[in-house]
Amino acid sequence: MDMPKPDESVLNRRDGIIAALGELLPGDAVITDRDELRVYECDGLTAYRQLPMIVALPATVDQVSRVLRYCFENRIKVVPRGAGTSLSGGALPLADGITLGLAKFNRILEIDYGNRLVVAQPGVTNLAITDAVADHGFYYAPDPSSQIACTIGGNVAENSGGVHCLKYGLTTNNLLGVELVLINGEVIRLGGKHLDAGGYDLLGVVTGSEGLLGVITEVTVRILPTPPAARALLIGFGSCEAAASCVSAVIGAGIIPAGMEMMDAPAIRAAEDFVQAGYPLDVEALLIIELDGTAFEVDQLVDSIEAIARDNGASSVRASADEEERLKFWAGRKSAFPAVGRISPDYYCMDGTIPRHRLPEVLGRIAKLSSQYGLGVANVFHAGDGNLHPLILYDANKGDELERAEAFGAEILKLCVEVGGVLTGEHGVGVEKRDLMGTMFTEDDLKHQQRLKCAFDDRGLLNPGKVFPILHRCAELGRIHVHRGRLPHPDLPRF
């Protein structure tokens, strides 16, 4: 993984930059000590580490604006950071860059039940939003597995999902507004307390932009009434094909469950060993399907899905009778990653999305790749929306296993694209999948994405080295090309 070459002239100015930041921020908000910087050297993708040049921890919008303006004028790179839980290296520091941490933006600013929304600072955790409104019978729907730690600002930057996005959507579908500071220090507001932001959908564009377009300083999200009832089904199958066809049949019956998760045999065994969730061990695939809504509707749909499961050859079907049992069904799935961590020194989590009906074929080919690379793999998926999380098992201390794991992972992602899917469903491109962008997009596709970047940040100072494998200069992207020598156009129909 090559990062942009650090700019010696910036590194040489480090003392001056520290002094300048000291003018803009309180003393304790500028971190320069090597040991303290160590805390920020990586995010959730721990295979890549880099000490930042400086860490700045502003506490107000004005401070963010002034720091960005300074960086803009002095051409210093900036890496925004929330809680650092990204799994794709989106918050990986740059040797010649300032990591801008938003941790001090940790307050919920407004809860508006009448308009069913919460206004929060970006450093508030995802779960804290639900916690703040739960007593009034509301919750915030997107629930990434890191929700106890990840921040809402980071969720916007990554367009985070979770197990319930099948029915309730990703961050982008639950976001009403943001306040955003541009690299030149200008502060803009996109959206607000109303639906549809108006003008170009820059709210939609900023969501999932991985810190490349601006720094989010305020977030407004929709909250939903908590469904009065929820039940889960635990369904075992003798083959992944049968489980996949059950998933298709459920959706074909017009049912969109709150969540529809799948695990393969290695993942089931690891989870059962870890938390004793009561998973059947004589199956090749397990589905956990959750229904929520009124008790009447949930019971009705549980019955429908039980019938569909049996029609699709389920070897075991259990429906949760009470809340305790429902949580137990989920316990194994929710601990699947740490459970796999117990059976392997390291694992590498992938995140492609595929069309649902290609699942059996993709699993078959992942199994073949597994023997080819000599590395085990456990599969968990958000089956309802075709989002795969193969966990590649390796030991970083053993020879070339890390390199093999990365190569294996890249093959899986290319496979996802080949069958009509995408490189990443919810974890982001970051540095991890940056060099694979060319498998999904043409040069012209990527250039148009970068032209959007040029409109926001034409000096390329915000989070460079992430998402795009080649950094074109905006001046170069701005040139108009003459087209294919096909002018004039005699064949063009007109009336």
Interacting positions 284-343 with another protein (CB under 8 A): 293-294, 296-297, 300-301, 304
Length of the chain: 495
Find the helix or strand (DSSP H, E) in which 310 lies: helix 295-311
Find the helix or strand (DSSP H, E) in which 303 lies: helix 295-311
Q: What angle do CA 89, 91, 92 make, to 5 degrees?
A: 65
Binding mask 74-113 for another protein (x = CB under 8 A): --------------------------------------xx
Shortest Å, Cβ 431 to another protein = 14
Check if the beta carbon of residue 384 is closer than 8 Å to that of residue 259.
yes
Does 15 engage in binding with another protein (CB under 8 A)? no
Shortest Å, Cβ 360 to another protein = 14
| Size of residue set near another protein by CB under 8 A | 108
d(CA 125, CA 407): 34
d(CA 268, CA 391): 13
Please pick, from the candidates 82, 154, 266, 386, the single residue that binds another protein as defined by CB under 8 A: 386
Please pick, from the candidates 13, 49, 116, 269, the single residue that binds another protein as defined by CB under 8 A: 116
Segment lying near another protein (by CB under 8 A), choices 23-31, 55-63, 67-75, 204-212? 204-212
Please pick, from the candidates 43, 143, 158, 346, the single residue that binds another protein as defined by CB under 8 A: 158
Check if the beta carbon of residue 220 is closer than 8 Å to that of residue 205.
no
Segment lying near another protein (by CB under 8 A), choices 79-87, 99-107, 198-206, 403-411? 198-206
Shortest Å, Cβ 208 to another protein = 5
Nearer to another protein, 331 or 452 (CB): 452
Does 256 engage in binding with another protein (CB under 8 A)? yes
Check if the beta carbon of residue 332 is closer than 8 Å to that of residue 271.
yes
Please list every residue from 464 through 493 that binds another protein, using CB under 8 A: 467, 477-478, 480-484, 486-489, 491-493
Binding mask 363-382 for another protein (x = CB under 8 A): -------------------x
Please list every residue from 55 through 74 that binds another protein, using CB under 8 A: none
Q: Comparing C-alpha atoms, which of 142, 43, 140, 145 is closest to residue 380?
A: 145
d(CA 91, CA 466): 9
Nearer to another protein, 252 or 374 (CB): 252
Nearer to another protein, 9 or 442 (CB): 442
Please list every residue from 126 through 145 that binds another protein, using CB under 8 A: 137-138
Nearer to another protein, 194 or 473 (CB): 194
Please pick, from the candidates 50, 147, 207, 379, the single residue that binds another protein as defined by CB under 8 A: 207
How far from each other are the two terminal CA atoms of the chain, in whole angstroms? Answer: 54
Shortest Å, Cβ 342 to another protein = 28
Segment lying near another protein (by CB under 8 A), choices 92-100, 282-290, 305-313, 349-357? 349-357
Shortest Å, Cβ 172 to another protein = 7
Rg (CA), the chain: 24
Please pick, from the candidates 32, 106, 248, 315, the single residue that binds another protein as defined by CB under 8 A: 248
Amino acid identity, residue 425? G
Please pick, from the candidates 187, 265, 317, 331, the single residue that binds another protein as defined by CB under 8 A: 187
- Distance from chain centroid for Cα 390: 15
Shortest Å, Cβ 45 to another protein = 15
Q: What angle do CA 206, 211, 216 make, to 5 degrees?
A: 65
Query: In the structure encoding, which two tokens stand for residue 242, read together?
Result: 């049968």
Check if the beta carbon of residue 349 is closer than 8 Å to that of residue 406.
no
Nearer to another protein, 334 or 433 (CB): 433
Please list every residue from 31 through 60 that binds another protein, using CB under 8 A: none
DSSP 44: S
Nearer to another protein, 98 or 156 (CB): 156
Query: Which burial class, exposed, middle or buried, applies to 170 when counting CB atoms under 10 A from its CB (0-12, 13-18, 19+)?
Result: buried
Check if the beta carbon of residue 311 is closer than 8 Å to that of residue 299.
no
Shortest Å, Cβ 358 to another protein = 9
Q: Comparing C-alpha atoms, which of 120, 119, 124, 181 is closest to residue 149?
A: 124
Tally Cβ neighbours within 10 Å of residue 9.
Answer: 9
Please list every residue from 425 through 444 that binds another protein, using CB under 8 A: 425-429, 433, 437, 440-442, 444
- 184 vs 65, 67, 344, CA distance in Å? 8, 9, 46
Handedness of CA 106, 107, 112, 115 (dihedral sign): negative
DSSP 186: -
Does 228 engage in binding with another protein (CB under 8 A)? yes
Alpha carbons within 13 A on the beta-carbon side of 14 = 17
Nearer to another protein, 34 or 481 (CB): 481
Please pick, from the candidates 61, 149, 255, 367, the single residue that binds another protein as defined by CB under 8 A: 255
Nearer to another protein, 96 or 457 (CB): 457
d(CA 19, CA 17): 5
